[in-house]
């Protein structure tokens, strides 16, 4: 949840530090999700893979900082799509409330990826004419924040279920 709050504040981060901040947030989220995956009895490999892809996206931002909006968006779209596929497969192999939250998280990541992809055409024109606008950066920040919120809720539900069955 703290990562979601941090993502919502991205428009306040300077342009040069944005890639580093996004990378650090994705890396932290990925490491947390990977560690949480090691604690699962079922679908541990898939849960760790979802965390791994998030950490990998974070490392890409950290090792290859980008100052332009488009490479950032492409990495995020790829991350969201791969993660949504991993979570959808995971949902098929789980049950109960964990399945529900996993489906919600997969659907949110997929919808966010599609939304970013659909917005590329309009965003390209705005970017070419005006450069990165606060609205464009703000909408990107909310995409990350929404993904982090839903994934945080998913992890809390999984932890509760794992604790109850222990």
Q: What is the pLDDT along the chain (166 residues), one digit of tens a residue?
A: 777 777 766 667 766 667 777 788 889 989 988 998 888 888 989 999 999 999 998 888 888 766 555 566 778 888 889 999 999 999 999 888 888 888 988 998 898 888 778 766 555 544 544 455 566 566 667 777 777 887 787 888 877 776 766 5
Contact criterion met (CB below 8 Å) for 29 and 151: yes
- Computed on alpha carbons and rounded to an integer, the radius of gyration of the chain in Å comes to 16
**What does the angle CA 76 – CA 157 – CA 166 come to, to the nearest 5 degrees?**
130
């Amino acid at each position: 949840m703290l990562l979601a709050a941090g993502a919502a504040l991205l428009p306040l981060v300077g342009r040069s530090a944005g890639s580093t901040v996004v990378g650090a947030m994705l890396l932290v989220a990925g490491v947390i999700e990977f560690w949480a995956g090691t604690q699962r009895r079922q679908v541990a490999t898939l849960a760790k893979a979802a965390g791994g892809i998030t950490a990998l996206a974070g490392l890409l931002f950290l090792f290859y900082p980008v100052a332009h909006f488009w490479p950032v968006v492409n990495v995020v779209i790829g991350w969201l799509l791969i993660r949504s596929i991993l979570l959808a497969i995971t949902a098929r192999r789980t049950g109960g409330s964990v399945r529900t939250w996993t489906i919600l998280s997969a659907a949110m990541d997929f919808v966010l990826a599609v939304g970013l992809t659909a917005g590329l055409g309009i965003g390209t024109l705005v970017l070419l004419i005006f450069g990165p606008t606060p609205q464009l950066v703000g909408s990107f920040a909310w995409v990350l924040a929404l993904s982090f919120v839903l994934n945080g809720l998913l992890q809390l539900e999984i932890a509760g279920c794992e604790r109850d069955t222990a």
